[in-house]
């Protein structure tokens, strides 16, 4: 029964979260352009409906199988990542003792999915976006492991329910503010947005999505937003105590914290400029990776004290 309830909550979170994320993206985009958003709340639904009835553009010598599967795999990774997030004590779709490892594996597989999405159309811009994402994505994922292990140290477990329970006295965001900042950067990378969007940027005419249109483009955008919701729920669980909170039910607290993280991630993505790829690579290898290791070291020393 708890598994069924968890699956229903995942569907509700992802469905409502995707729509809200699209609304916030629309509002932030209009704000940056100094314009008034047209159809703020219904606009995303109208755009999705319009994409579904458009014909799909075809390219020559396309890898049809990968082109068909890549958006679905991306969406599946978002769902699997969400499946380990607890909504309340005992309410979780699956609670493996290595839940954080499962999340890390999904993060890493995003690189594969984005690459085949850019490689499948057999076109220059998508392929350039795919290779650029692989170059940026690999060093971006490495700090994630240190950050997540540091979050698991107070719980002495890699299971998400144990990580949440370890924050009853003090949230991890207070113990590890640096870890949260690094984790938000990783979230921007795996959701292809903001200063880390090297896969689908405007300077590549859409990058891996340059040749996509119709239902395939709608599914890819849906998968990106679903991964944003999944990442936000994971950040709320690991750093903000997940379902913990007074008076309100656990799923409500998780929803509120997820919305806060999602809005912050989208705002950062819209406000920060993108650096040239070589400079960003240097930032990942020379700054983010040592900082993540220092974060893990500090948490380890604190746990021994």
Q: What is the pLDDT, as a whole number, of residue 164? A: 93
Segment 38-58 mean pLDDT: 79
**Residue 297 pLDDT exceeds 80:** yes
Distance CA 125, CA 265 (A): 26
Average pLDDT, the chain: 87
pTM: 0.92
Highest-scoring range by mean pLDDT, 29-33, 115-119, 282-286, 299-303: 115-119
Our count of domains for the chain comes to 1
DSSP conformation letters of 12-70: HHHHHHHHHHHHHHHHHHHHHHT-PPSSTTTHHHHHHHHHHHSPPP--TT--HHHHHHH
CA distances in angstroms from 95 to 233, 251, 299, listed in the order given = 15, 16, 24
pLDDT in tens, 130-151: 998 988 888 888 888 889 888 8
Q: What is the pLDDT, as a whole number, of residue 110? A: 93
Phi then psi for 88, rounded to 5 degrees? -170, 170
Q: What is the pLDDT, as a whole number, of residue 1? A: 56
By residue range, what is the domain housing residue 274? 1-304
**Residue 12 pLDDT exceeds 80:** yes
Instruction: List the structure tokens of 124.
Output: 């220059």
Segment 56-67 mean pLDDT: 80
Confidence of residue 38 (pLDDT cuts 50, 70, 90): confident
């Amino acid at each position: 029964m708890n598994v069924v309830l968890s699956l229903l909550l995942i569907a509700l979170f992802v469905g409502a979260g995707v729509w809200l994320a699209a609304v916030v993206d629309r509002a932030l985009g209009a704000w940056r352009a100094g314009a008034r958003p047209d159809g703020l709340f219904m606009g995303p639904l109208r755009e999705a409906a319009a994409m579904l009835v458009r014909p799909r553009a075809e390219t020559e010598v396309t890898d049809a199988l990968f082109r068909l599967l890549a958006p679905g795999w991306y969406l599946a990774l978002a769902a699997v990542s969400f499946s380990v997030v607890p909504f309340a004590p005992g309410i979780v779709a699956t609670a493996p003792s290595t839940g954080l490892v499962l999340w890390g594996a999904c993060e890493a597989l995003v690189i594969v999915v984005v690459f085949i999405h850019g490689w499948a159309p057999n076109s220059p811009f998508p392929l350039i976006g795919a290779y650029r994402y692989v170059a940026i994505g690999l060093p971006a994922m490495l700090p994630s492991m240190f950050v997540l292990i540091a979050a698991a140290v107070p719980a002495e477990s890699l299971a998400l329910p144990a990580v949440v329970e370890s924050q009853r006295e003090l949230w991890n965001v207070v113990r590890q503010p640096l870890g949260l900042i690094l984790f938000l950067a990783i979230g921007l990378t795996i959701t292809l947005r903001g200063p880390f969007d090297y896969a689908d940027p405007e300077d590549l005419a859409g990058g891996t999505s340059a040749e996509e249109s119709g239902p395939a483009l709608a599914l890819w955008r849906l998968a990106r937003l679903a991964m944003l919701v999944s990442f936000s729920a994971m950040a709320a669980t690991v750093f903000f105590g997940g379902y913990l909170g007074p008076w309100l039910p656990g799923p409500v607290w998780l929803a509120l914290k997820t919305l806060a993280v999602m809005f912050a991630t989208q705002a950062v993505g819209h406000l920060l400029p993108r650096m040239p790829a070589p400079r960003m690579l240097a930032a990942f290898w020379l700054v983010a990776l040592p900082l993540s290791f220092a974060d893990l070291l500090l948490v380890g020393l604190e746990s021994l004290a």
